Amino acid sequence: MVNYGLFCTVFQTTKNHKPIKMKVIHTIKDLQAELSVLKAQGKKVGLVPTMGALHAGHASLVKRSVNENEVTVVSVFVNPTQFNDKNDLVKYPRTLDADCKLLEACGATYAFAPSVEEMYPEPDTRQFSYAPLDTVMEGAFRPGHFNGVCQIVSKLFEAVKPHRAYFGEKDFQQLAIIREMVRQMQFDLEIVGCPIVREEDGLALSSRNARLSAEERENALKISQTLFKSRTFAASHSVKETIDEVISTIDAIPEMRVEYYEIVDGNTLQPIAGWNDSDYIVGCITVYNGEVRLIDNIAYRRPEQ
């Protein structure tokens, strides 16, 4: 009898009101055995890749997948190859039991929680290059990060072969790079980008928020507040003046330092010089709040507007 790993204990109800249990699976072989049966029945599979330490932002991705597919797989795996700072890897929160409860409450079918050895039985030497998408912003400040992201996401796509995969727009650059990877590698799936989820006070949800002290949590609000205000500021100021205003406002707070703030074309991720340079304009920011590195972004203009 196949051992499919731990079973979560909370029952969920499907659209047909039949109680089901979410399974936590630890090997690719066992996951594929389950999925092959369901796909043979014509069921659509949605995949939500995560690194765990799940919050309401992740829950929104899972719920969307549950609404759009008969089967939802959520991977919970802290991927070592995308951390260029090994201390960051060590400190990254790991909360599988709590993650499992959240996923089951959202209606996920499977949580896929492999070991490092399962995903990397041997070193992954593949090199991914999607310049200029991966050479700016995070790519410039975190060498090798997106190569690691593409390694693990491509492995998950190959293992699960989902019909759709869901990613949050908070990782705006990552989403653009994954779309390009799918195009170049010709994966037969749809990439679904989902809006940023924020706390009521505006703070973008992040697994790293759990590492913030009470004072740092309060300071972190300045990031989204400044970005929101910059929309009004931008109406009567240049791109450069808007960038300078955002950086100086946040840098004025003790213990906070902007690593970069760039206003870019939302498709190419290349910096723009003027507000008329693109019909899709996004501001992307990374801030050190104490030792915790936080990212956020805001759209100044979208094509549909």
Contact 295, 284 (CB under 8 A): yes
58 is catalytic: yes
Largest interatomic CA distance in the chain: 68
Q: How far apart are CA 141 and CA 288, in angstroms?
A: 13
Enter the tokens of residue 256. Answer: 């906070």
Phi, psi of 56 (to 5 degrees): -65, -25
CA gap 48, 15 in Å, rounded: 20
* Catalytic residue (one of 26, 58, 163, 237): 58
Distance CA 195, CA 32 (A): 30
Contact indicator for 150, 181 with CB cutoff of 8 Å: yes
The CA distance from 142 to 148, in Å, is 11
Active-site residue list: 58
